Amino acid sequence: MSPTQKNHKLPVKVTGYKNLVEVLEYAAQGETGYNFYDGRGHLSTVLSYSELRDDAMVLAQRLIRLGCERGARVGIIAETDPMFHRFFFACQYAGLIPVALPAGIQLGAHGAYVGQVRRMLKSCGASVVVAPATHSKFMEEAVQGLDLLMAGTQGDFDALPVADVEFEPLGEDEPAYLQYTSGSTSFPRGVEITQKTVLNNLMEIARYGLKLTAADRFVSWLPFYHDMGLVGFILVPLIGQLSVDYLGSRTFAMRPRLWLKLLSDNGGTISSAPTFGYALCARRLRPSDVESYDLSKWRAACVGAERINPEPLQEFADILRASGFDEKAFVACYGMAECVLATSFAPLDRGLAVDVVDRVLMAETGEARPSNGNTVSTSEYVDCGKLLPGFEFLILDDNGVELENRHCGNIYLKGPSVMRGYYRDDKATSAVLTDDGWLNTGDIGYRIDNHLVITSRSKDVIIIKGRNIWPYDLEVLAQRTGGVKLGGVAAFSVTGSSLEEQAVLVVETREKDPASRQHIIEEVSRSIHAHFGINVLIDLTPRGTLPRTSSGKLSRSQSKQDYLARKTLEGVERSAAKAGEKQSA
Amino acid sequence: MNKSIETVGQNLVEILTEYLKNNWADSPSSKQTITPATNMVTELQLDSFQVMEFMLEVEDHFDIVIDLESLSDIQTITDLASFVIAAQPE
């Protein structure tokens, strides 16, 4: 077995398609496709675009024969497995809507995982669910009592009879897929992306963001239930008719060096990760590895998904310079599933451009003024480049007034890549999309002329190691703990000591007894860890002290400010107390 | 190779203690005393990447392949020990 290579004859074509079926049909005329590597880094499956087309068409006939109605939702547990691609494209042919479901299971999180999948299936009203054999036990539990046509593994579906009907693939204004944007336990939100919308963003990424050529090759370990994995490393390579090499996400977590080995062995040119992926990899490298790699072809090392921290990226580049890695390959990107994937790219072949600003002025006035010789304290932010051509953006203050250059505010986006809305959820949709099509990203940033700088991702969403976590979900879990009052919890994130996001919960309680207080802290953190696999800092505060808006709504941003002020004050008092001890001694 | 659950549990305690000491010396979990009864989820609060790195060490030490889905039912070191014993070839 050998991996797919590049196209020798088929010219790169990124426009002129009406739907994803047409994109696949064109790519299937070439020699490229998807290559899957196992936990030891050995090639396990090759799925060329032409084989994928053939497999997907047969599977589509089986799904139609099964009785799936047009537009029915097909939940796919999105393990890094060729099964995902087959079902995703079978849906495109059969006129069904694929829904990527999470596949990552945490230690001791059996019940939480099953519950999460079940809520997503209910939210989208799935008719069919498919899982890899490794996940069939969880799937069976998740679908119990749901009204489905079928739930099974690839093998179960392969045994179904085939219909013999003409396909009517999903059309321009029909959905291409639904994507759940977070590990949200309470209210899963399925981003609905139409064919026209996804094709627009794919074209813009291919043509303007990455400037794809027939010489490119993708390498990825990102999960397919995340927009960077699904769009960035299944659909973008497809629209460029390029080959991709995949490692499983958990393989990467266990053996991150396999990522670099694959890039080196196969001459990968494009690969992306959140900052933590580069940091994890750098931490595990051995000097002998560095000499054995050739990373000189890696021309676009995209960084996105969470706030970009330049320091670990620079370390990564320093260590791998000997492997031929050029730090100019770093491309800062900004995007979100609500805009398919990407909204802005920093210029290629430039590397990271870091804007160093006056931290104090920024905290007090929101102005990002470049630091000078007199600046006492500075903050560093990465320039995420110009928006892709289809987008317009606005930076507004909290009253909706547009801000000038270098002033931080709420980022709004508009354009043909913006989602239609959250699936069957008008309330959640109208909370973020205005009537005239502006998407409130929830992210905060400033502009330097037409370049965008992000200062904090999603004032509401907490992003830890690339996972989006909705504060509301953490608050709900905390409120299920004894001694915690409904509405008496605020969740947000702060930047930790190593510049990674740290989730914080401020919990109101009347409890005075130290043992009971400790019990609340342990119970809440245990419950959150069991559901989300993250560690939280818990800060207890007396009843009625969390800040609220005039309408009585909890203010997370004010809670965060208060928390930070309290911690700073405690720090000052502690050092004062220590100084006092020393003096009296 | 027929090892008792106690022996394997003790091996795992050593591997995990060593792993945390070498890699996460500053984190609170590396300061806790780990025993076979320690709950990795609620007491140590390992994050998902720490879990994967620890599993890699376990695989290498016992020369087994861990089916990662099984981790969803594992909480304590003793749970993991029974799993490791079952995964070892006769």
Q: Which residue has the higher pLDDT, A188 or A446?
A: A446
Q: Where in chain A is the domain with CATH 3.40.50.12780?
A: 20-244
pLDDT tens by residue, A80-113:
999 999 999 999 999 999 999 999 888 888 888 8
Residue pair A276/A465 in contact by the 8 Å Cβ criterion: yes
User: Which residues does chain A have within 8 Å of residue B55's beta carbon, measured at their own beta carbons?
Assistant: 254
Smallest Cβ–Cβ distance between B52 and the set A134, A254, A535 belongs to A254
User: β-pairing, A128-130 with A73-77?
Assistant: parallel
Residue pair B64/B82 in contact by the 8 Å Cβ criterion: no
CB contact under 8 A, A110 and B65: no
User: β-pairing, A330-335 with A300-303?
Assistant: parallel
A514-532 and A110-124 helices, crossing angle to 10°: 60
Of chain B, the end-to-end C-alpha distance in Å amounts to: 7
What's the average model confidence in pLDDT over B81-90?
A: 84
Chain B contact present for A535, CB below 8 A: yes
Tally of CA atoms within 13 A in the half-sphere of A200 that contains its CB = 19
- Nearest in space to A92 (alpha carbons), one of A15, A22, A33, A196: A22
Cα–Cα distance list, A64 to A24, A71, A130, A161, A169 (Å): 20, 11, 15, 10, 12
- Nearest in space to A504 (alpha carbons), one of A433, A562, A426: A562
Q: Where in chain A is the domain with CATH 3.30.300.30?
A: 470-577
Residue A551 has pLDDT above 60, yes or no: no
pLDDT at res. A458: 62
Which of B16, B48, B78 should we substitute to test contact with A (largest number of A Cβ atoms within 10 Å)? B48
Q: pLDDT above 90 covers what percent of chain A?
A: 63
Q: Provide φ and ψ at B63, rounded to 5°.
A: 55, 55
Task: Please name every residue paired with A440 in a beta bridge, in sequence order, or none if there are none.
Answer: A412
Smallest Cβ–Cβ distance between A108 and the set B47, B65, B75 belongs to B75
Distance CA B14, CA B11 (A): 5
What's the average model confidence in pLDDT over A336-341?
A: 94
pLDDT at res. A584: 47
User: Within a 10 A sphere around the Cβ of A479, how many other Cβ atoms?
Assistant: 15
Chain B contact present for A521, CB below 8 A: no
Q: DSSP letter string over A215-262?
A: T-EEEE---TTSHHHHIIIIIHHHHTT-EEEEE-HHHHHH-THHHHHH
Cβ contacts from A onto B, under 8 A: 70
A470-577 CATH fold:
GMP Synthetase; Chain A, domain 3 (3.30.300)
What's the average model confidence in pLDDT over B5-28?
A: 87
Q: Which residue has the higher pLDDT, B23 or A67?
A: A67
Residue A504 has pLDDT above 90, yes or no: yes
User: Which residues does chain B have within 8 Å of residue A183's beta carbon, measured at their own beta carbons?
Assistant: none
User: Which residues does chain A have within 8 Å of residue B71's beta carbon, measured at their own beta carbons?
Assistant: 105-108
Residue A70 has pLDDT above 80, yes or no: yes
Residue B1 has pLDDT above 70, yes or no: no
pLDDT tens by residue, A124-179:
999 999 999 999 999 999 999 999 999 999 999 999 999 999 999 999 999 999 99
CB contact under 8 A, B75 and A137: no
CB contact under 8 A, A105 and B47: no
If you average pLDDT over each of A103-117, A290-304, A529-543, which comes out highest? A290-304
Q: What is the mean pLDDT of chain B?
A: 85
Write the single-letter amino acid at A281: C
CB contact under 8 A, B72 and A465: no
Residue A54 has pLDDT above 60, yes or no: yes
Residue B2 has pLDDT above 60, yes or no: no
Residue A530 has pLDDT above 70, yes or no: yes
Residue A116 has pLDDT above 80, yes or no: yes
pLDDT at res. A309: 82
Work out the minimum CA distance from B85 to partner chain A, whole angstroms.
Answer: 18
Per-residue confidence band for B69, with pLDDT thresholds at 50, 70 and 90: confident
What's the average model confidence in pLDDT over A550-574?
A: 72
pLDDT tens by residue, A182-230:
544 556 789 999 999 999 999 999 999 999 999 999 999 999 999 999 9
Q: Which residues contact A156 (CB under 8 A, 6 or more apart)?
A: A150
User: Which residues does chain B have within 8 Å of residue A249's beta carbon, measured at their own beta carbons?
Assistant: none
Distance CA A192, CA A23 (A): 20
User: A166-180, A205-219, A444-458, A567-581: which has the minimum mean pLDDT?
Assistant: A567-581
Residue A585 has pLDDT above 60, yes or no: no
Q: How far from chain centre, in Å, is Cα A31?
A: 30
Indicate the CATH number of A20-244 among 1.10.1200.10, 3.80.30.20, 3.40.50.12780, 3.40.630.30: 3.40.50.12780
Residue A498 has pLDDT above 70, yes or no: no
Cα–Cα distance list, A386 to A231, A347, A389, A390, A448 (Å): 20, 8, 8, 11, 10
Work out the minimum CA distance from B81 to partner chain A, whole angstroms.
Answer: 14
Residue A582 has pLDDT above 80, yes or no: no
CB contact under 8 A, A134 and B40: no
What's the average model confidence in pLDDT over B72-81?
A: 92
Which of B22, B68, B76, B80 should we substitute to test contact with A (largest number of A Cβ atoms within 10 Å)? B68
Q: Which residue has the higher pLDDT, B23 or A414?
A: A414
DSSP 8-state code for residue A405: T
Q: Where in chain A is the domain with CATH 2.30.38.10?
A: 334-456
Residues of chain A by 3-state class (helix, strand, coil), percent to 5: 40, 25, 35
Q: Which residue has the higher pLDDT, A335 or A579?
A: A335
The ipTM assigned to this model is 0.87
A195-226: string of b/e by CB count within 10 Å (b at 16+)? Answer: bbbbbbbbbbbbbebbebebebbbbbbbbbbb
Distance CA B53, CA A218 (A): 25
CATH of domain B5-87: 1.10.1200.10
pLDDT tens by residue, A242-270:
999 999 998 998 899 999 999 999 999 99
Residues of chain B by 3-state class (helix, strand, coil), percent to 5: 60, 0, 35
CB contact under 8 A, A250 and B49: no
pLDDT at res. A347: 96
Residue A314 has pLDDT above 70, yes or no: yes
Indicate the CATH number of A334-456 among 1.10.4160.10, 2.30.38.10, 3.40.190.10, 2.30.42.10: 2.30.38.10
User: Which residues does chain A have within 8 Å of residue B23's beta carbon, measured at their own beta carbons?
Assistant: 283
Residue A531 has pLDDT above 80, yes or no: no
Smallest Cβ–Cβ distance between B71 and the set A105, A283, A534 belongs to A105
Chain B contact present for A108, CB below 8 A: yes
DSSP 8-state code for residue A337: G
Q: DSSP letter string over A22-35?
A: HHHHHHTTSS-EEE
pLDDT at res. A68: 95
Residue pair A271/A495 in contact by the 8 Å Cβ criterion: no
Chain B contact present for A533, CB below 8 A: yes
Q: What 3-state class would DSSP assign to A193? A: strand
